[in-house]
Structure 1
Amino acid sequence: MKHWSPAVKAFLGIFIFYEVVGWIFISAYQRLDQLQLINGNNSPLADMTFQALTATAEVVLPILLLLYLIRFQKAYALPYVYSYALSTGLIQGLKHLVFTDALRPLAYFASSGIKWHIIPGLLISEFNSMPSGHTGAAFFMFFWVAVLLRRWFWGALAGLIAVGVAYSRVYLFQHFPVDTLVGAAIGVGSSALFYSIHYAKSSSK
């Protein structure tokens, strides 16, 4: 870990804290209680905030970051692409080949009779819940943001934004908390792997 900057260490600290708290949370509460605690505590401001956070993990921002790397930090471009490919491949493989029957909250609780908070006009998926692709993309991408920014404050901020994306996926009724925990682990693991390989190759030259 000597080659990891203060920003990356801060990011990883936020990630580990999120994973520990998250697994404790899902161990302590049933799925129904988990969703009622998160989705049930809503407001118009939260609706806007979490829709905006979710959008950071969608296609446009990761591509813009790649273009930035190609232009200004070319050495990180290939490790970034490889980690994106691995993270996305693992998540999509798990979704479509392993957890094929994993329903998302809307379908899972379809017969519960509970009136959930659904934002008008927001498309809610019903299938392929495990793991969360948005969360994986957020943690993958913001890991590399931490690599670029280097100072611990920015790494911590990047980690908090990634956690916000994970929380948004549950708040918006798109995923269960466990889906986001697994997605985050895949995103961080993929990025850390290729960052370490990149550093090892750089050090050997």
Structure 2
Amino acid sequence: MLANFLRKNRYFFLPYAVFLVVVGALQLLYTQEQLMQWVNKRNSLLADELFPYLTYMGDGAFFVIVCVILLIYNRRVGFVAFASFALSSLTSLFLKTVVFPNSPRPLKFFEHSTYEYHLIKGLDIYSYNSFPSGHTTSAFAVFGLLAFLDARKNRGYFFFLLCILTGYSRVYLFQHFVEDVYVGSIVGTVSSVIIYLFLHDWMKSKAVEESIDKDIS
């Protein structure tokens, strides 16, 4: 079942696999500081305006709104979305507060650095609980799940792009290191894969029931 699932959703998983390999390799070749500086110096006025808004695609409130919309559309699909939200969020929270408590964010880690980092004026930047990125976790969980649910599988590229934009925004906004985003993407994706596969037959049975009811009526 897993192999068939991966094949059907290859438009999401193929670019994600490339992301894991490329960004994973970069982290072996360069330090988190070097990667942060590479992203930070590629700033622009347009990016400064856009990323503070794009980053909300990984906000928990955004995930809940998506869940509610899906719940209205189909109760079982909505339940699956809420289950994905719960698993991904609780896993991220556990890692942040129990396994890696008080992990410093870039602002705290580089507070004595002589390198002049670009910071967006007026933006609230946190100091702790950096690993992993909760926003990235949520983004990969919600958009990954939407890609799995979408009948038009070729739109997996689009959903993956939204994931990447959210993850990149967290580094650009100086809220997280690349490793935070990298691991957050894994937590979010794996959470949605587990929930989707575990509840797939339950969702499918509901779809069959609705189809039979329509035929009878």
- Do both proteins adopt the same fold according to a TM-score greater than 0.5, normalized to the shorter chain? yes
Partners of 2:130 and 2:180 within 8 A in 1: yes
- Other-structure match for 2:13: 12
Post-superposition shift, 1:152? 3.2
In structure 1, what is the Cα distance between the partners aligned to 2:191 and 2:130?
A: 20
- Other-structure match for 1:117: 118
- Other-structure match for 1:34: 35
Counting only pairs closer than 5 Å after superposition, residues 1-205 of structure 1 correspond to structure 2 as: 1-3=3-5, 6=8, 8-201=9-202
Tell me the matched-pair count: 204
CA deviations over 1:22-70 (Å, ceiling 9, x no partner): 1111111112211110011100111122222201111332122112111
Partners of 2:60 and 2:135 within 8 A in 1: no
User: Equivalent pairs: percent with the same residue?
Assistant: 33
Post-superposition shift, 1:14? 2.3
CA deviations over 1:92-146 (Å, ceiling 9, x no partner): 1111111114211111111112221110111001101100000000000101221
CA deviations over 1:134-178 (Å, ceiling 9, x no partner): 000000010122133332332111101101111111111110000
- Other-structure match for 2:210: none
Post-superposition shift, 1:204? 7.8
Q: Structure 2 vs 1, CA of residues 204 and 61 (structure 1 numbering), >3 Å: closer, same or farther?
A: closer
Partners of 1:18 and 1:163 within 8 A in 2: no
Q: Structure 2 vs 1, CA of residues 101 and 59 (structure 1 numbering), >3 Å: closer, same or farther?
A: closer
Q: SS at 2:144's partner residue? A: helix
Point out which structure has higher relative CO (alpha carbons under 8 A, 6+ apart). Answer: 1
Post-superposition shift, 1:16? 1.8
In structure 1, what is the Cα distance between the partners aligned to 2:89 and 2:61?
A: 15
In structure 2, what is the Cα distance between the partners aligned to 1:45 and 1:170?
A: 16
In structure 1, what is the Cα distance between the partners aligned to 2:42 and 2:6?
A: 37
Partners of 1:10 and 1:155 within 8 A in 2: yes
Q: SS at 1:50's partner residue? A: helix
Which structure 2 residue ranges, 5 or more long, are not aligned? 207-217
Post-superposition shift, 1:203? 6.3
Q: SS at 1:106's partner residue? A: helix
In structure 1, what is the Cα distance between the partners aligned to 2:143 and 2:46?
A: 24
